C-alpha cells in the first residue's frame, strides 16, 4: 500500500494528546474514504491511552469508534470496558512514533509501526479483558496503521 498523499499540511499545530488531535485524524480518515474502502470494514472501539498525558502526569485516554470505513465518534474516556481494546504507551513513545510518521511523510520507520511497538507488550501495550476483542487490533491492523499515519498531514505539537 502506498503511503497516503497529504496535500493540506496545516501550518498551525495541533496539540498531542488531545481530543482535537484525534478528531483531526477522524476527519482525515473520513475524507480518505477510498483508501479505507480498499482496506475494508473496520468495526471497533479503540482506546488510545497516553500514560502520562493527563494533568500532573496522570493517564489520558481517548476512545475512537470506527464503523465501516469511518471514524464516527471521538471522546475522552476512562471507561476502558467500553473499548474493544486499549493501546497504551508513554508520551515519549507516542511522540517518537508520530515524529517518525511525520518524517516519513505518512510511513513510519520499520521500528515505529503499531505492531512493532506492541508485539512484545512494550513500549506500547495493547490489552483487553476479552481475547476476542483484543484480536480486533490485529484484524484491523492496517486500517489502524493508516489512521495514525494520516497524522503526517498536519503538524503535531507536544507538551514541553
Partner 1 sequence: MSTASRVESLQPLPAAGLNDEQVAGYEARFKEHANKWAEILQRNGDRMKKGEYSLHWMNTDGAAWGRRAKPSSRGLTYTDINNVPGYGTIPERATNLTFAPRGAVRDRYADEMPVVDDYTLVDRGESWADNVITLYEEAKARQWNATRDIPWSELERLPEDLEKATCQLCTFLTEVEFVAGDFPAKWLYKIPQDFLEVKSFIVTQMMDEARHQEVFRKRAIAGGGLLHASPGFEWALKAIYDSPTHTMGTFLLNLLGEGLVLSMFRSGEMIAKTHVDKEIFRRCLQDEARHVSYGVLELKNYLDNAPNRPAALEEMHRFADVGEQVILTSFTEAALVEPMAILLGGGLDKIDQGMEGQAHLWKMSVEEYLQRCERAGFDRRARCTIPLDSPWGQN
Contact residues toward partner 1 (CB under 8 A) are 1-2, 39-41, 43, 68, 107, 110, 113, 115-116, 119-121, 130-132, 135-136, 138-142, 145
Q: Report the nearest approach of partner 1 to the CB of residue 42 (Å).
A: 9
43 or 76, CB closer to partner 1?
A: 43
Q: Report the nearest approach of partner 1 to the CB of residue 16 (Å).
A: 24
Return the CA Rg of the chain: 14
Distances (CA, A) of 130 to 36, 61, 126, 145: 26, 19, 12, 22
Q: Report the nearest approach of partner 1 to the CB of residue 106 (Å).
A: 12
56 or 121, CB closer to partner 1?
A: 121
| Residue 117 to residue 108: CA distance in whole angstroms | 11
* Residues ≥6 apart with Cβ < 8 Å to 121: none
56 or 131, CB closer to partner 1?
A: 131
From first CA to last CA, the distance across the chain in angstroms is 35
Amino acid at each position: 500500500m502506498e503511503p497516503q498523499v497529504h496535500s493540506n499540511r496545516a501550518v498551525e499545530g495541533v496539540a498531542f494528546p488531545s481530543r482535537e488531535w484525534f478528531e483531526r485524524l477522524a476527519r482525515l480518515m473520513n475524507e480518505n474514504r477510498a483508501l479505507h474502502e480498499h482496506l475494508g470494514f473496520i468495526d471497533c472501539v479503540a482506546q488510545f491511552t497516553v500514560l502520562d498525558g493527563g494533568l500532573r502526569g496522570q493517564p489520558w485516554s481517548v476512545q475512537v469508534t470506527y464503523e465501516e470505513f469511518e471514524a464516527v465518534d471521538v471522546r475522552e474516556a476512562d471507561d476502558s470496558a467500553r473499548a474493544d481494546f486499549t493501546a497504551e504507551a508513554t508520551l515519549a513513545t507516542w511522540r517518537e512514533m508520530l515524529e517518525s510518521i511525520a518524517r516519513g511523510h505518512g510511513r513510519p520507520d520499520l521500528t515505529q509501526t503499531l505492531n512493532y511497538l506492541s508485539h512484545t507488550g512494550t513500549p506500547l501495550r495493547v490489552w483487553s479483558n476479552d481475547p476476542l476483542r483484543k484480536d480486533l487490533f490485529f484484524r484491523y491492523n492496517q486500517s489502524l496503521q493508516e489512521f495514525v499515519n494520516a497524522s503526517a498531514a498536519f503538524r503535531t505539537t507536544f507538551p514541553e
